[in-house]
Amino acid sequence: MRIDIITLLPELLVSPFSASIVKRAQENSSVSIHLHDLRQYGLNKYGQVDDYPYGGGAGMVMMIEPIDRCLQDLKAERNYDAVIYMTPDGERLNQKLANKCSLMENIIILCGHYKGVDQRVRDHLVTHEISIGDFVLSGGELAAAVFCDSIIRLIPGVLGDESSALTDSFQDNLLAPPIYTRPADYKGWKIPEILSSGNTPAIDAWRIQKAQERTQHLRPDLLND
């Protein structure tokens, strides 16, 4: 998978992609991530990328021309499956959407700032709009980092243990069951006996039951989905 990210603040995206699973995924060529500084496509000698809103009002609006020029450069090189705009009023990210996007080959992610982008960017240039939740961040970069992490770990070969993404919370509309490690008794707080029984079918059944109980208790909405 190739991910191109268009942003006014590329430095915000360096650290999230420089450690752990996402770093390894780049090292073993499962994914390549390319940051594009929108300012380089800015207009006039100031590299202008934003302007006042027509009709008045507070805040600045990201202009269409620098974004369009950057997109044209990228699209001249290869075909893209999606041009995704990170925005709080987009489709809410969940595991199902992450699974779908993880199957894409080449994607472009556009990070918004200020009051957002000129509506014509959304109407004519963007193919998907994604929100990571019902709250407003200062810009799309952190949302893009969250989105990228959620899809990169689903690319086959990225996780060491192939089955590990399958047992994640939400993968079957179920939260993950409780897990424990040594010691078996800490200050009198004991692990459930079944887990040290060696009886794998019984342990599997216990895990399914706990996952269902936990989901029923914490997120009953998932069971009706």
Shortest spacing between CB 7 and ligand ADE, in angstroms: 12
Regarding 135 and contact with ligand ADE (CB under 6 A), the answer is: yes
Regarding 59 and contact with ligand ADE (CB under 6 A), the answer is: no
Regarding 61 and contact with ligand ADE (CB under 6 A), the answer is: no
Q: Which residues pair with 131 in a beta bridge?
A: 92
Stretches 16-24, 65-73, 84-92, 166-174: which one binds ligand ADE (CB under 6 A)?
84-92
- Contact with ligand ADE (CB under 6 A): which of 87, 102, 150, 215? 87
Contact, 40 vs 47, CB < 8 A?
yes
Q: Count the residues of the shown chain that bind ligand ADE, applying the rule CB under 6 A.
A: 12
Q: What CA–CA distance (Å, rounded) separates 214 from 225?
A: 16
Regarding 143 and contact with ligand ADE (CB under 6 A), the answer is: yes
Regarding 150 and contact with ligand ADE (CB under 6 A), the answer is: no
- Contact with ligand ADE (CB under 6 A): which of 9, 74, 97, 137? 137
Residues near 171 by beta carbon (within 8 Å), at least 6 away in sequence? 95, 165
**Toward ligand ADE, which CB reaches closer, 63 or 211?**
63
Question: Which amino acid type is present at position 1?
Answer: M
Residue numbers 91-120 binding ligand ADE by CB under 6 A: 112
Phi–psi pair at 186, nearest 5 degrees: -125, 115
**Long-range Cβ contact pairs of 20-29 (< 8 A, separation 24 or more):** 21/149, 21/152, 21/153, 21/158, 21/159, 22/148, 22/149, 22/152, 22/153, 24/158, 25/152, 25/153, 25/155, 25/158, 28/157, 28/158
**Toward ligand ADE, which CB reaches closer, 152 or 174?**
152
Shortest spacing between CB 206 and ligand ADE, in angstroms: 37
CA 102-106-111 angle, to 5 degrees, is 85
Stretches 72-80, 131-139, 149-157, 159-167: which one binds ligand ADE (CB under 6 A)?
131-139
Question: Using CB under 6 A as the criterion, which residues of the chain lie in contact with ligand ADE when the complex forms?
Answer: 86-88, 112, 131-133, 135-137, 140, 143
